[in-house]
Amino acid sequence: MTPAPYYPADPRNRTRPWDENRYRADGERLLREGRLGCFVVAGGQGSRLGFEGPKGCYPAGPVTGKSLFAIFAEQILAASKHYRRPIPWYIMTSPLNHAPTVEFFERHAYFGLNQDDVSFFAQGVMPSIDRATGRVLLASKHEVATNPDGHGGSLKALFVSGALDDMRARGVEHISYFQVDNPLVKCVDPVFLGLHATAPDSSGEMSSKMLPKRDPAERVGVFAKLDGKLGMVEYSDLPEKLASKRESDGRLTFNAGNPAIHLLGWRFVERLNSDPAFSLPFHRADKKVPCIDPETGANIDPAEPNAVKLERFVFDALPLAERSIILETDRTTEFAPIKNASGEDSSESSRRIQTERNAAWLELHGVQIPRTPQGEPDCVIEISPLTACSPEDLTDLPDRIQRGAKVAL
Ligand code: UD1
């Protein structure tokens, strides 16, 4: 196992300089030609967040309380306008949250997107298994208890749902894959698209972004080369000795953390599915699954994990790509996930990171931002993607933001 090479976030980095402008131009050309589709995996259950309803409906805008879905929709709308081509958006739900997800979009008039450019499909499910006996659990007398088959199920679901056919009909060649929990993700990133589609070390099949790990114990998977092939090693599988190994400059040797942002080639997904034996491996997770007692029919609402769930992970497809590239990104720019009710990766931490990114954008234009003695913005700032998708888009700005203010631009 060796560290995965990556394109550094700063293209002037001396260890691996690269031509950002060239790849941006390539990506922008593809966008003007209508070659990109967006794809969010939103079938997860969001149980850690304790939020009733589809996670994409969660209020994530730090000032407006705008939902995650609204934030992505605005980005896609802004990019479609900018590149003068509709960017179709595919939303993977699960049987558990499909109907309320579609209903949410209808209630919000598709957030201004053309309804024909938004498609929904539900992912597959797997039976949930009794941890103690290995038998399939029952949800009711005549119904097996099931769980969504993991975000890796998306590769099959894209195919069986007809989404891939829709992409072919539209001329879409690349799929921007992101998770529903990260309001800062760049749904449309021309530089990443250019690298994925045209860099010599990419086969245009599956590319990824990486985040330098915060510390050895951070619970994220890391990209690594295994027997010469790029892949992902889950944090639970990475021996502590390797997780804490450092280079001479102090950097963690295996520092390429996974923010779950990928580009997939349409052809790649089609090639995988054209093999009838195609299947990603299953991973096991022990979870609480409500069920009935098969003897008495009584409902069981377990307090402790009683079931084994089987899930597929999308990054297990990485070694199936011929040549796969990774682009470095950073937390403040592109990673503010909402996963937990409090603490790390919560709506509170996401609000803070979003404000930090927005403050940095405003400061580039000379706007004065009030800061705490620790250097954090002492205000809350939200920037709608319809106002700006990058700092260059910002105009008509105030000279300063007041201490304690809540500002939505
Ligand atoms: C995931 C990654 C982790 C990465 C982190 C970054 C895995 C196993 N781990 O962790 O390496 O560092 O994201 O944020 O993926 N989903 C579905 N259907 C499912 C299951 C999940 O659509 O059946 C979607 C969820 O809606 C969510 C995403 O996949 O958008 C992530 O799922 P989750 O199980 O929350 O993964 P994490 O533990 O956050």
Q: Which residue, judged by its Cα, is nearest atom 34 of ligand 1?
A: 44
Ligand 1: nearest atom to the Cα of 232: 11
User: What is the spatial distance between Cα 26 and Cα 30, in angstroms, rounded to a whole number?
Assistant: 6
What are the residues whose beta carbons fall under 8 Å from the beta carbon of 44, sequence distance 6 or more? 55, 94, 148, 151, 180, 181
Ligand 1: nearest atom to the Cα of 148: 23
The CB of 183 under 6 Å from ligand 1? The reply is no
- pLDDT value for 219: 85
Q: Are 205 and 174 in contact (CB under 8 A)?
A: no
The CB of 92 under 6 Å from ligand 1? The reply is yes
Q: Which residue, judged by its Cα, is nearest atom 1 of ligand 1?
A: 260
The token pair that represents 151 in the structure block: 């975000």
Could you write out the DSSP letters of every residue in 16-60?
S---HHHHHHHHHHHHHTT-EEEEEE-----GGGT-SS-GGGSB-
Q: What is the pTM of this model?
A: 0.96
CA proximity to 194, closest of 327, 329, 332: 327
Token pair 């599988």 is found at 237
Q: Which residue, judged by its Cα, is nearest atom 30 of ligand 1?
A: 179
Q: Are 185 and 42 in contact (CB under 8 A)?
A: no
Say which amino acid occupies 16.
R
The CB of 210 under 6 Å from ligand 1? The reply is no
The CB of 148 under 6 Å from ligand 1? The reply is yes
Instruction: Burial-class residue 76 by CB neighbours within 10 Å (0-12, 13-18, 19+).
Output: buried
User: What is the spatial distance between Cα 209 and Cα 24, in angstroms, rounded to a whole number?
Assistant: 16
User: What is the spatial distance between Cα 5 and Cα 223, in angstroms, rounded to a whole number?
Assistant: 9
The CB of 208 under 6 Å from ligand 1? The reply is no
CA of 373 to the centre of ligand 1 (A): 35
Each of the 409 residues of the chain gets a pLDDT tens digit; together they read 999 999 999 999 988 999 999 999 999 999 999 999 999 999 987 778 888 899 999 999 999 999 999 999 999 999 999 999 999 999 999 998 999 999 999 999 999 999 999 999 999 999 999 999 999 999 999 999 999 999 999 999 999 999 999 999 999 999 999 999 999 999 999 999 999 999 999 999 999 999 999 999 988 899 999 988 999 998 888 999 999 999 998 999 999 999 999 999 999 999 999 998 899 999 999 999 999 998 999 999 999 999 999 999 999 999 999 999 999 999 889 999 999 999 989 999 999 999 999 999 999 999 999 999 999 999 999 999 999 999 999 999 999 999 999 999 9
CA of 49 to the centre of ligand 1 (A): 13
